[in-house]
Amino acid sequence: MKLKHHDIPIDAERPFANCKLGREQYANILTSLVGSYADGFVLAINNEWGTGKTTFVKMWQQQLNNQGFKTLYFNAWENDFENGALAALMSELSTLQERGTKSLFKKVLAKGAILTKSAIPILLKAAASKYLDKEVLKELFEGMADNANELLQTQIQEYTSKKEGLKEFRTSLEEFVKKSTEDKPIVFIIDELDRCRPDYAVDVLEKVKHFFGVPGIVFVLSIDKVQLGHAVRGVYGSESLNADEYLRRFIDLEYAIPEPSTEMFCKYLFEYFDFGKFFKSSDRWKHGELRNDPVDFLNMSIQLFKNDKLTLRQQEKILAHARIALNSFHPNNYLFPELFLVLIYFKVQHLNFYQQIRVQKLNIQELINGFESFIPKSLSDDELRTYIFVEAQLVYFFNNYINHGAWRSLYGNDEDGKKKILYNSTLTTGGGIFEEIIERYSNNSNITGLKISFLIDRIDLMEDIRVS
């Protein structure tokens, strides 16, 4: 059984054959784009963490290879143990050497050797300074030593030498790239830049801009721009740094892969985590009243995730946990799939409320108020009925939990002495669904005494897990 996503196999001939999210169309757009601008530019694929960027760029890389592009893939996170990005990037570039270009690459390497220690650090920092607040700059210059002038002269001399070396390096690199490709650019993919050491991430950006920005190379940065912005501010030690403006210096074009619909992604995860193995097992399927569980579970996941606008990573985390917990249920156990999923959602997204349920720190009215505080305001009638249905289940089983199975404590008498349920949903009327569920469970001997701990113990992995 899978607990998390593993690398999806990439078919050499049909790279997107195993992509269930319909993303090949976006790769086709990007392929046309890089093929149209062989002079080179920097493209940022900007999506949040956990949206499948790495899988996408690896599939796209194979597609590019199949169409005659020369490509490189560099995982910055896996290489940030290095102190300097120049050597690491050069190492990736060296893989493009062929018999006719080895001497050219040696020339590039020789020119780059003198730049590896402290290439233009002064101007790189100065370039960032224009995005800093004036007061911050004032603080930077306070307390400088009396010999600052002498130090500056030494640095200027060093920079003059480095500047000439940089020109020679880029000239040699451009010659190597031109010889290595024909009418298509080299596509150099840099992944996981936002996850590596902040100083290393900035070093990579600076090197791409100032060292490798030559015709014939298209750099593709697979990033979460917000997280990368945090890294930039951390390196320069100022929250006042305009990180977005700073990053514009390096990025010529930004592209976001459209996220799949919630329905598509939920169905994909349902298949990926093999929920059908539990829901449709022969031992479970023979109980007719349980046969609708997979449909109810999937529909609830779609509704819940869509209404709360959860990220793909959050959706995956909830369903992965659900799949593990299912293995503690016996084939003939009731699951109450909607409530089961909502409780896991609370555990992952709203732990404090979940803990209050678990340790019985709420009364019934507080439970109702807490549950309803998480319900979106704009819902269709069908969606609203689903939430009221889950609310009734939650109240019934929680009451059994805090009152030791005394379900009758949910009832009282009205002014005329007639039996009535003491609590109700304060959501828009759901056609009596709340009362109907309470009544149904109160009259079902298989359910009457069940407590919410029946689900919580399994969600908290307090019951034996069966191998599945």
Mean pLDDT to the nearest integer, 50-77: 93
Using 50, 70 and 90 to split pLDDT, how confident is the model at 147? very low
Give kind and range of the element (H or E) at residue 421. Answer: strand 419-421
Q: For residues 245 and 400, what is the distance between their CA atoms, to the nearest angstrom?
A: 57
Q: What is the pLDDT of residues 254-274, one digit of tens each?
A: 999 998 999 999 999 999 999
Using 50, 70 and 90 to split pLDDT, how confident is the model at 349? very high
Using 50, 70 and 90 to split pLDDT, how confident is the model at 45? very high
Nearest to 457 by CA among 411, 401, 383, 385: 401
pLDDT of residue 463: 83
Contact 70, 188 (CB under 8 A): no
Weakest-pLDDT range from 32-36, 48-52, 72-76, 336-340: 48-52
pLDDT reading at 146 higher than 50 = no
The residues spanned by each domain of the chain are 24-255, 262-459
Tokens 């593993």, residue located: 6
When mean pLDDT is compared over 93-107, 159-173, 398-412, 448-462, the highest value belongs to: 448-462
Select the more confidently predicted residue: 390 or 4.
390
Mean pLDDT to the nearest integer, 289-305: 96
Token pair listed for 95: 């893989």
Using 50, 70 and 90 to split pLDDT, how confident is the model at 356? very high
Q: What are phi and psi of 72, to 5 degrees?
A: -135, 145
Q: What is the pLDDT of residues 94-132, one digit of tens each?
A: 888 887 788 888 888 777 766 655 444 433 344 344 444
Where are the alpha helices (H) located in 181-219, listed in sequence order?
Answer: 198-210
Using 50, 70 and 90 to split pLDDT, how confident is the model at 333? very high
pLDDT of residue 370: 96
Q: What is the pLDDT of residues 151-184, one digit of tens each?
A: 545 555 555 666 677 788 888 888 888 888 878 8
Token pair listed for 61: 């890389």
Weakest-pLDDT range from 13-22, 290-299, 406-415: 406-415
Strand 217-223 relative to strand 419-421, pairing:
unpaired
pLDDT of residue 160: 60
Where are the alpha helices (H) located in 50-96, listed in sequence order?
Answer: 53-66, 85-94
Weakest-pLDDT range from 44-53, 115-124, 298-307, 434-443: 115-124
pLDDT reading at 14 higher than 60 = yes
Contact 208, 42 (CB under 8 A): yes
CATH architecture of residue range(s) 24-255: 3-Layer(aba) Sandwich (3.40)
Nearest to 267 by CA among 314, 299, 313, 235: 299
